Structure 1
Amino acid sequence: MKGNGDIRFHVLALGIVFVWSVTFISTKILLMSGLSPSDILFYRFVLAYIGLCIFSRPFVLMAKSIRDEFMMFLCGLFGGTLYFITENTALEFTMISNVALICSTTPLITLLLQSVIERKKPRAGLVTGSLLSLLGVSAVIFNTNFIIKISPLGDLLCLASALSWTLYTLIIKRLSTRYSALFITRKTFFYGILTLIPVLASRGLNVSTDILFSSAVISRLVFLGLIASFACFMLWSVCLKKLNAVVVSNYIYLMPVISILASAIVLGETLNYMVFIGAFFVLLGMIVAGK
């Protein structure tokens, strides 16, 4: 990590990952309140898009070229609809531990794809750091259960989710040289809503006012839409613009660690020594990768 400017963006990335790590609590409560995964995603995206439109001054409708507009569409498809739908659907077919472990390979996939696209060998520190963090994630995820049950469909969906986020990250990195984070994020959520329509057409949308306007539901939708989506996606684009995409992606390794710690604090779940060993390797890997 070089320079105070870089440190600020590393701290920002850490804060974003922290917010994303605790969203599962809000999502779980919304599911228990009667909303489906696609319902939550739709309302979350709509709230984020409204917020982005309010702050977009001047309001620019289209990208500078058809090619760039298509890349914005891909951001919405990969970073929005496909990422969330494949991850949520995977939970119906495979174990949570499988989902967490496979999705946490995103930084490694990002590292490999970036190397292929840029046609250069990745730094040894990035590879070593990524592998150390993946080792730490594995220890955290399997701290109470070391059994992996293979489920081809569910595990393929997890892999598709990880690949979707990787493609979103790399596309954002390229677009950020020509567009502001606000514009990219607004277009991402617009196309995220657009590509979600076929899913809603097949599954339907819950529009019950009794559910949507209850305090428990509306407060958590606002958190997911305006903080976890609107603010965090925009700031994540800023981090990708200022830092190496692989280094930023490595912060994703922290998500299982933070999620488990949050579960212990909020839901009273127990911790054991493997969680702390895993957290140590995750942090060590991130330090090595960031040098």
Structure 2
Amino acid sequence: MHTTLGCYAIAVAIITVWSTTFVSTKVLLRSLSPEEIMFCRHILAYLALLAAYPHRHRSSGIREELLFAGAGLFGGTLYFLTENYALKFSMASNVGLLMATAPMLTVLVARFLNANEPFNRQLAVGCGIAFLGVFLVIFNGHFVLKLHPLGDLLAVVAALTWAFYSILVKQIGNRYNGIYITRKIFFYSIVTMLPFLAFGDFRCDFGRLRDPEILLNLLFLGVVASSLCFLVWSKIIWKIGPVAVNNFIYLEPFITMLAAWWLLDEQLTPIAVTGGIVILAGVYISTQAVHKRPRSV
């Protein structure tokens, strides 16, 4: 992680892990509600981080606590709720496409908040090219875009919450141990999701955790995809910035497509392969752009 190229490689590895979480989530949805999956995932992530680094640090004040609370609310509670319910009310293809706006929204949020992140023509072009590639991969020659207003709106909100989370993590900085920072963000995620659990489909039936399939999938989502990946993702944000890191989100549908081809023997079509190449080109252009001096579009 000491070089920019190393950060890019780690970002791709994390996106690869996150691209496989949909399988675990689909398995768990047979037995658990979206709220139950979210809560158990965050509890396991918090406990894993607490075991790895049980120490506390003295807070520097109310502003710092608000930053942590905001990161927990946006990156945990609101992101997972809006994403899960978007999938419930809309088509997966719609949600996948709209969630791919997260890198572009990160650029806009960073500019709006004056977060000293790069914004130039090359970055805008790279984002546009990568988004086109995402479109090709998701629709794969079968263009069916049906509007589902509530679900589609929730997908955009989910992408927006991730953009705010990324900026807040950058503003928190790495003044403390990275494990402690990630743990504290997950703590506030748990606190802010409690009101939603009170009104959602949540049951305190922990006996279901005796099912090995449920337990193993929750451990993967909580310990690997959440605590470990969120920790490393935060470190990369501190190193190269949220705009550069979030560009790799464009790779998620491409990696999912490759995983389906490799593991599920699904067919790779020329359009999907072309889309993957277009995504790679867009991500390359965007990552090159973030190292240039910002100028107005």
Contact (CA 8 Å) 1:73, 1:191: kept in 2 or not? yes
The 5 Å alignment of 1:47-196 reads 47-60=44-57, 63-118=59-114, 122-196=119-193
Amino acid corresponding to residue 13 of structure 1 in structure 2:
A
Pair 1:8-2:43 in alignment:
no
The aligned residue for residue 222 of structure 1 is 219
In 2: Cα distance, 1:11 partner to 1:161 partner: 25
Shift in Å, 1:283: 0.7
Post-superposition Cα deviations, 1:192-247, rounded to whole Å, max 9, x if no partner, equal: 11111122112243444553111111111111110000000000000000013211
Amino acid corresponding to residue 75 of structure 1 in structure 2:
A
Q: How many residues align?
A: 287
**Structure 1 range deviating more: 9-18 or 203-212:** 203-212
**Structure 1 range deviating more: 190-199 or 50-59:** 50-59
Q: In the alignment, which of 44, 54, 67 is matched to residue 41 of structure 2? A: 44
Pair 1:19-2:17 in alignment:
yes
Post-superposition Cα deviations, 1:52-73, rounded to whole Å, max 9, x if no partner, equal: 111225322x531111101100
Structure 2 length-normalised TM: 0.91
Shift in Å, 1:136: 0.5
**Structure 1 range deviating more: 160-169 or 179-188:** 179-188
After the TM superposition, which parts of structure 1 deviate over 4 Å for at least 4 consecutive aligned residues? none
In 2: Cα distance, 1:84 partner to 1:181 partner: 22
**Structure 1 range deviating more: 115-124 or 51-60:** 115-124
**Structure 1 range deviating more: 76-85 or 142-151:** 142-151
**Structure 1 range deviating more: 76-85 or 49-58:** 49-58
The 5 Å alignment of 1:194-273 reads 194-273=191-270
In 2: Cα distance, 1:15 partner to 1:121 partner: 24
Post-superposition Cα deviations, 1:162-195, rounded to whole Å, max 9, x if no partner, equal: 1100000001011115344222211111111111
In 2: Cα distance, 1:196 partner to 1:165 partner: 16
In 1: Cα distance, 2:232 partner to 2:83 partner: 22
Distance 1:135 1:75, change over 3 A: same
Contact (CA 8 Å) 1:78, 1:165: kept in 2 or not? yes
Instruction: Tell me the secondary structure at the aligned position of residue 29 of structure 2.
Output: helix
Post-superposition Cα deviations, 1:7-50, rounded to whole Å, max 9, x if no partner, equal: 11111111111100101111111112x11111111111001000
Instruction: Tell me the secondary structure at the aligned position of residue 135 of structure 2.
Output: helix
Distance 1:120 1:262, change over 3 A: closer
Q: Which runs of 5+ in 1 are unaligned?
A: none
**Structure 1 range deviating more: 78-87 or 110-119:** 110-119
Q: Which runs of 5+ in 2 are unaligned?
A: 289-297
Distance 1:121 1:47, change over 3 A: closer
Instruction: Tell me the secondary structure at the aligned position of residue 267 of structure 2.
Output: coil
In 1: Cα distance, 2:3 partner to 2:117 partner: 26
Post-superposition Cα deviations, 1:237-272, rounded to whole Å, max 9, x if no partner, equal: 000000132111000001111112222333343331
The aligned residue for residue 295 of structure 2 is none
**Structure 1 range deviating more: 122-131 or 44-53:** 122-131
Amino acid corresponding to residue 30 of structure 1 in structure 2:
L
